[in-house]
Structure 1
């Protein structure tokens, strides 16, 4: 399928968003809602051994029977990474490597740097944003390592609790940019090369320690955006489904192997979560044209990344600030504050041309 045909299939832009496929927009909106529910509604009160009744019911009737752990948080992250795989491949194909790099910098890295800096300043001020683990020494080296996305590899204090997702997304985008020439000509071959790199990192990490093991564990999650890219090759490049299936099974095998290689991933049933996420994206692409064009879905899809960055950086400090009042009162304030901050960050992002 030619690039022109692919561009026409993608449809027209909605609300100025670079993500134009209604099914992907619906997947993004659902993903960010699940992430917000997991971290604001379920995780925060659980730290105080006070779990809201609706969360208990959701766990009993949905999470446990379906095998979806972490209160849908990992499913939400999987949906976001799948959508990233789809849109990143499409962006590189349409925009070219140079323009895609500029977009990655302005719309990808700079908002993250803003969120990491805000989290740093809030920690210095005594607030409690969501960080990975117990707060450590707020050294300059920790701040700089967070900005360089290597805090996990160096064992430094993580300022952004969901920073590992940003690292996975960055690694994937770098792989896409490195194979851009192949992606535009033989997209399935590009995915195969990217999958080979991921497999190498996962296996190498399993036999090593330190930062190599950390990188290998993160590489397990590359399966999600790689699956999104595969779906893009089938829908937008006309690659037969039977030809893409082996690579898709390879991505699933990486997740299964990762659960056995890395003890931290064991028992979470991430392979099952992967299957659920792929089915949701495929269903959204096939049947989500109407909902994907709705105003509320379009708003959430456009602001998915700012919301993702600020759920823990803005929402958590607000919950902690109002921890002496009823959770039913604090939660709406946290959601409102996160939405308002995300709207401001979104407007800053769209004001900068790439």
Structure 2
């Protein structure tokens, strides 16, 4: 563990107790007794993910794992080399949700160290389902989904070339897991943690809250400086994930104290959960207001809503996530009877106010 002096900082109403200090690769920072902050690299616009190593006294627990990159595996080996012993093994790997930057190295760690995998049921099953798409051609349902959204053939070809890539970011998953459910209590790091389930960003996202420590391990459910993607996917085109996300944010407002230390998956640990949750809610409500104003001017397709939803034009590598999130806002309005749908001669769905 690195030794640091911390100078807390405040930005936009949130306090960052560790200031500008972050762990170097293969090094850790203790953020609460028995909880070490691990930081692994990502090859995305998000450059790092935060992971948590917990001293359970008779063993170790890891919460989230990083992608199965060579440098990530090497860093985990170095971190665990002096900690994991026959007398004090790696007991379990807890995964907040099934996105590859969180679950990617879980199978490798479980197989290498003989640890149990702990996840919610929908996250485990969905992960196994998406891994099974590896090597498959893009399905007709997916092609139709994006064509109806207004994608051109260049974007469709890009989707075809990338389909099935999820499994390449996930090491071989264990064939069994320990199920986490809403309200479960588990003992970790010498204290009790309650499982709080969120949805919208992923199907059954697990947060862990310790009332004794006043600490929340939030995964992607609360991030201090970015908003988690909330998307509709081709597998469930009529889904309403934005309602699930907003409800999850409201639920957390009622379950966790405002002054708890939040350990997020991205950016830095912070204090200020309530104002941040309210800001996330307000951001989506503002996007919905702008979207209604856009729709009042006449029918639009999904791509034509981007500036209203995100405040800017979007293309390139962000097109897929932007399409999913714009559809989440459109489906939210549609589920509440606010929209009428039509179709162009080219088969693109048009949305207008009912």
Q: TM-score, normalised by structure 2?
A: 0.30
Rg (Cα) greater in structure: 2
Higher helix proportion (structure 1 or 2): 1
Q: Comparing both chains, which one has the higher relative contact order based on Cα–Cα distances under 8 Å and sequence gaps of 6 or more?
A: 1
Higher strand proportion (structure 1 or 2): 2
Q: TM-score, normalised by structure 1?
A: 0.30
